[in-house]
Amino acid sequence: SDNTNINRTQKARAHTNIALIKYWGKADEQLIIPEDNSLSLTLKDFYTDTEVRFDKDLTADEIVFNNHLMNKAESQKMINFLNIVRQKAQQNIFAHVKTQNNIPTAAGLASSASGFAALAAASSKAIGLDLSRKDLSRLARRGSGSATRSIFGGFVEWEKGNNDQTSFAKPIEENVDWDVNLVAVITNRHEKKISSRRGMKISKATSPYYQAFKQVTSRDLITMKKAISNHDFDLMGHTAEENAMKMHALTFSSDPSFTYFNGDTLKAMQLVHELRNEGINCYFTIDAGPNVKVLVQHDNLKKVIRKFKTAFGQSNVVATVPGPGIEYLN
């Protein structure tokens, strides 16, 4: 086929996102169609840069992650994703992929969201597809659910849809021009033991509270959208914290039961409660790992940072603000 322009390097940057209304369960595991809509905030300082070049002389994909050449097992999810891209472009040609996580102070906040969003953007463009952001969101979804949302900046909603065509994210407020800050508290830098993929599957199959979670999540989503449109920080923070706890209740109530919390996670949650008792309005949310993210406004930011640095150490506390969607770097 005519692929004269294909042997060129395409670079893209995608930022990670933090879910304020959690995605926890799939209606379709193959296509990654979620059980419920979710809503997230894209973050400025945590991102992945990926470059892709398709090369007809290659006999397999070659993937370098943080300067380390991945073996077949490590790169299988990304190879599966590139197979989808090749199929869409009707090209049978392998790729050089170089991907770098730019997460301050090393691991702990590594994310499949920014990883697959960056890979979707770089690989689709490198192979000659010119996708709209909606179609890019649909493509990123095939790599990892949370990546669906990282195509867009600011506050983003992933509409669950009911098939490959209708399940994609939409921006709610791309340029967040009001006072929202996030402080990430790293309590453990090691990779989680139970992947989100496995954790949500166990929860959906076994937690007696799963249907209740679906009901409250649809209500929380409405409240969250109202909070965002009114720029109501306290309603946003409170709703995010409550929704996170409902998600984590699904892990505790699964069979076998499990949790992403460690002792320091609980300590960080307690510090947020203490700060609120002191009149400092801040709220936590926690993903499928032990690290805690604290939402806070500018006037209280320094106090919150000081409190967590004292408790967890200087290098384990990183502040950021809302960030942009996909960027092509060339």
Ranges of beta strands (E only) in 55-192 are 62-65, 68-69, 95-102, 155-159, 168-173, 181-185
Q: How far is the CB of 113 from ligand 2P0 (least distance, A)?
A: 6
Q: Are 45 and 318 in contact (CB under 8 A)?
A: yes
Asked whether position 112 contacts ligand 2P0 by CB under 6 A, the answer is yes
Among 24, 81, 233, 312, interactor with ligand 2P0 by CB under 6 A: 24
3-state secondary structure of 288: coil
Nearer residue to ligand 2P0 within complex by CB, 23 or 94? 23
Q: How far apart are CA 198 and CA 28, in angstroms?
A: 14
For the record, the structure tokens of 279 come out as: 């009149």
Q: How far is the CB of 320 from ligand 2P0 (least distance, A)?
A: 16
Asked whether position 288 contacts ligand 2P0 by CB under 6 A, the answer is yes
Among 44, 96, 133, 197, interactor with ligand 2P0 by CB under 6 A: 197
DSSP state at residue 25: -
Q: What single letter denotes the amino acid at residue 59?
A: T
Binding mask 153-192 for ligand 2P0 (x = CB under 6 A): ----------------------------------------
Q: Are 19 and 285 in contact (CB under 8 A)?
A: yes
Among 42, 101, 150, 196, interactor with ligand 2P0 by CB under 6 A: 196
Q: How far is the CB of 241 from ligand 2P0 (least distance, A)?
A: 14
Asked whether position 22 contacts ligand 2P0 by CB under 6 A, the answer is yes
Nearer residue to ligand 2P0 within complex by CB, 70 or 288? 288
The total of other beta-carbon atoms located within 10 Å of residue 266's CB is 13
For the record, the structure tokens of 18 come out as: 């933090």
Among 12, 14, 32, 117, interactor with ligand 2P0 by CB under 6 A: 32
The secondary structure of the chain in percent helix, strand, coil, rounded to multiples of 5, reads 40, 25, 35
Q: How far apart are CA 297 and CA 244, in angstroms?
A: 19
Q: Is 249 left (phi over 0), alpha (psi -120 to 50) or beta?
A: alpha
Nearer residue to ligand 2P0 within complex by CB, 128 or 143? 143
Q: How far is the CB of 32 from ligand 2P0 (least distance, A)?
A: 5
Beta-ladder partners of 63: 97
The total of other beta-carbon atoms located within 10 Å of residue 229's CB is 11
Q: How far is the CB of 37 from ligand 2P0 (least distance, A)?
A: 10
Residues 218-277 that bind ligand 2P0 (CB under 6 A): none
| Nearest of 186, 146, 162 to residue 289 by alpha carbon | 186
Q: How far is the CB of 102 from ligand 2P0 (least distance, A)?
A: 19
Binding mask 117-156 for ligand 2P0 (x = CB under 6 A): ---------------------------xxx----------
Q: Summarize as ranges the residues that interact with ligand 2P0 (CB under 6 A).
A: 19, 22-24, 32, 38, 112, 144-146, 196-197, 287-288
